[in-house]
């Protein structure tokens, strides 16, 4: 009866995931928690999956008070019944503990990226490593890691602590991003104004498609300043049940400006398959 009632609850509450998916996530929670608490090689990924699985269940309507029976102790939780909110909090602590261990490795990867970046490179990878660095520090501190724990990266002669990592480690990523961004935006400063200036800050290295360029992108400040129309083009693979499933979907976003570089009109049009240059009008 207990299992039938639980499945019924899941079927009624499931919105973001199927009842079978939620039931699987709840069954897997105990094993993920145990692996995270072990401190072994898979501890960090298991803590992440524990959080993701519980979040999937909660987002689908399973209440925080729903209880799972732990067959053995894990972390600070004793064997027995525990609510999803209790297990979620424990997985957060375990994730923070493992992130504290991983910080030197992550920090070295961040410094590797900084060392090899040029002003013309996309900043996506650097942004990701920098963001992760800050998140790892916050998570480790919230988990109760000692702020004075040393973080040493011999390859770069870095010696710091968990307490100072936001500034002397992750902050190096912030500084490099600021430096690259200033260099990338420099040619546009004073040439583009108002909405054109705002939009180019979102995509300084990719540029925008111009009708004058017959389907090519441009990062030329003078051409972008002169053009009355810009296009932003996005593409993606459609879902299997989409009418366009045999081809790619394309979205053409058209920006129209006045002489003061202020946005007058924005329109979007979707295509099944890439259209010709006539779409750039």
- Tens-level pLDDT at each residue, the chain (281 residues): 333 333 333 334 444 468 888 899 999 999 999 999 999 999 999 999 999 999 999 999 999 999 999 999 999 999 999 999 999 999 999 999 999 999 999 999 999 999 999 888 888 999 999 999 999 999 999 999 999 999 999 999 999 999 999 999 999 999 999 999 999 999 999 999 999 999 999 888 888 888 876 767 889 999 999 999 999 999 988 877 777 877 889 999 999 999 999 999 999 999 998 888 888 88
Residue 281 to residue 268: CA distance in whole angstroms:
12
Beta partners for residue 233, in sequence order: 252
Q: Which of 161, 183, 205 is where one domain is finished?
A: 183
Does residue 224 sit in the same domain as residue 239?
Answer: yes
Q: Which helix (H) or strand (E) holds 149?
A: none
Nearest Cα to Cα of residue 103 among 133, 146, 143, 141: 133
Scan for tokens 């499945």, then name that residue.
7
Q: Report the pLDDT value the prediction gives residue 215, as an integer from 0 to 100.
A: 65
Does residue 105 sit in the same domain as residue 90?
Answer: no
Expressed as residue numbers, the domain containing 175 is 99-183
Does residue 136 sit in the same domain as residue 89?
Answer: no
Total-model pTM: 0.74
Nearest Cα to Cα of residue 199 among 227, 237, 178: 227
Does residue 35 sit in the same domain as residue 84?
Answer: yes
Q: How many CB atoms lie within 10 A of CB 195?
A: 18
Does residue 47 sit in the same domain as residue 77?
Answer: yes
- Grouping H, G, I as helix, E, B as strand and the rest as coil, residue 213 is helix
Half-sphere exposure for 45 (CA within 13 Å, toward CB): 3
| Helix intervals (H) in 39-160 | 43-59, 84-116, 124-142
Does residue 269 sit in the same domain as residue 203?
Answer: yes
Q: Report the pLDDT value the prediction gives residue 121, as an integer from 0 to 100.
A: 83
Q: Which helix (H) or strand (E) holds 148?
A: none
Residue 247 to residue 237: CA distance in whole angstroms:
7
Does residue 45 sit in the same domain as residue 127?
Answer: no
Q: Residue 150: phi, psi to the nearest 5?
A: -75, 140
Does residue 84 sit in the same domain as residue 7?
Answer: yes
Q: Which of 94, 112, 146 is where one domain is finished?
A: 94
Residue 212 to residue 124: CA distance in whole angstroms:
29
Expressed in angstroms, the distance from the first to the final Cα of the chain is 65
Q: What's the residue count for the chain?
A: 281
Residue 225 to residue 194: CA distance in whole angstroms:
11
Q: How many domains does the chain have?
A: 3
Does residue 79 sit in the same domain as residue 25?
Answer: yes
Instruction: Give the pair of three-digit tokens for residue 220.
Output: 């030329």
Beta pairing class for 217-218 and 208-209: antiparallel
Q: Which of 136, 153, 183 is where one domain is finished?
A: 183
Does residue 89 sit in the same domain as residue 103?
Answer: no
Q: Report the pLDDT value the prediction gives residue 148, as an integer from 0 to 100.
A: 96
Structural contact between residues 64 and 58, judged by C-beta atoms closer than 8 angstroms: yes
Does residue 35 sit in the same domain as residue 81?
Answer: yes
Does residue 90 sit in the same domain as residue 10?
Answer: yes
């Amino acid at each position: 009866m207990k299992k039938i009632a639980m499945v019924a609850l899941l079927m009624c509450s499931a919105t973001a995931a199927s009842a079978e998916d939620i039931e699987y996530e709840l069954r897997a929670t105990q094993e993920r928690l145990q692996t995270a608490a072990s401190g072994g090689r898979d501890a960090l990924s298991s803590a992440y999956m524990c959080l993701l699985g519980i979040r999937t269940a909660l987002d689908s309507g399973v209440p925080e008070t729903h209880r799972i029976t732990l067959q053995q102790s894990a972390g600070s939780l004793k064997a027995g019944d525990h609510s999803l909110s209790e297990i979620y909090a424990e997985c957060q602590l375990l994730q923070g503990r493992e992130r504290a261990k991983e910080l030197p490795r992550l920090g070295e990867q961040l410094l590797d990226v900084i060392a090899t970046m040029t002003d013309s490179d996309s900043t996506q990878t650097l942004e990701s490593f920098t963001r992760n660095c800050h998140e790892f520090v916050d998570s480790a501190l919230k988990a109760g890691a000692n702020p004075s724990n040393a973080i040493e990266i011999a390859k770069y002669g870095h010696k710091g602590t968990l307490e100072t990592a936001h500034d002397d480690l992750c902050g190096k990523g912030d500084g490099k991003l600021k430096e690259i961004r200033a260099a990338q935006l420099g040619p546009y400063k004073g040439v583009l104004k108002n909405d054109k200036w705002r939009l180019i800050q979102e995509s300084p290295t990719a540029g925008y498609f111009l009708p004058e360029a017959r389907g090519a992108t441009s990062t030329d400040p003078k051409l972008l300043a002169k053009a009355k129309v810009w296009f932003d083009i996005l593409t993606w693979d459609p879902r299997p049940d989409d009418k366009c499933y045999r081809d790619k979907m394309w979205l053409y976003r058209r920006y129209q400006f006045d002489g003061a570089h202020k946005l007058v009109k924005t329109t979007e049009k979707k295509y099944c398959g890439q259209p010709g240059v006539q779409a750039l009008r």
